[in-house]
Amino acid sequence: MSEEDKLLKEAKKLPWEDRLFHKNWKVRNEANIDLASLCDSISDPKDPRIREFGHLFKKTVSDSNAPVQEKALDALLAYLRAADADVGRYGKEVCEAVVAKCLTGRTKTVEKAQAVFMLWVELEAVDAFLDSMEKAIKNKVAKAVVPAIDVMFQALSEFGAKIVPPKRLLKMLPELFDHPDQNVRASSKGLTLELCRWIGKDHVKVILFEKMRDTMLEAELVNVTGTAKPSRKISEVFFSFLCSLVHACDVMPSCNAFVYLLKLSISVICREYVRLVHLDSILFFWFSIMCSSPKNNS
């Protein structure tokens, strides 16, 4: 066994923090790979290990070694997929670190950074995401600004205007219209057109068009038709789905044992969901009563 193999083997015995910030890049690389695998194996978002790892990502995604940084993003993606909205407390510091260190790297690194932002939105850390975007668009390197605008476009397109506030996006756009880089201006135009799909052409015209030099956008607005609909949901949207399930069970024959078991399962899900999103205790009581036993429809 070589000295390097011995080092890697011994390093696996170290605490996570020592491994992730080890002076040897190969140790850090393996640590991120192992952390990603561990997070992938977590099925309960309340697993205590979720809390244990959250504060580490601010530094791991800032790794100066490009391959290690990419593995750190993989670990962060696995972590966010395993977590729930409670990890929002880390959203601001991690998003800012990703903006500062990951948007000018290799193509795959940038794509993974954008996927990280989308997961933060899904976990309801929208403010942290948009705060970091406000900093990202001020970067003097155009290469870092374009992916920031593109991920805002993606977030609005997939989650919709109810989740991603158009007002925050509209405030950022004017300074981008005069950007010296044509790619930045092109991405800004795309985001503007997407805003038109969500809040209407007239609203966008009133706020933005007098600040724009690009008259070509007016012609492109002709092709903006229909009503935009989100394709991706945050966790709270699941609430309405549970309501639909409860209603469906109520109208089914209560003599069916399967319905009884289904309602009991929904009751457990509802109680846990209500606890996770901190809904009013009265609503919790309503769900408990409604789901505790099947109604007699006979």
Rounded Cα distance, 15 and 29, in Å:
15
272 pLDDT band (50/70/90 cuts)?
A: low
228-271, pLDDT tens digit by residue?
666 666 655 454 455 555 555 555 555 566 666 666 666 556 55
Assess if residue 168 is contained within a domain. Answer: no
Residue 66 burial (CB count, 10 A): 13
Instruction: Note down the domain range covering 250.
Output: 237-291
86-133, pLDDT tens digit by residue?
999 999 999 999 999 999 989 999 999 999 999 999 999 999 999 999
Give the pTM: 0.76
Assess if residue 274 is contained within a domain. Answer: yes
Q: What is the DSSP string of 261-279?
A: HHHHHHHHHHHHHHHHHT-
Residue 16 burial (CB count, 10 A): 15
Assess if residue 34 is contained within a domain. Answer: no
Assess if residue 75 is contained within a domain. Answer: no
- Domain count across the chain: 1
Tell me what the pLDDT averaged over the chain comes to: 82
Assess if residue 10 is contained within a domain. Answer: no
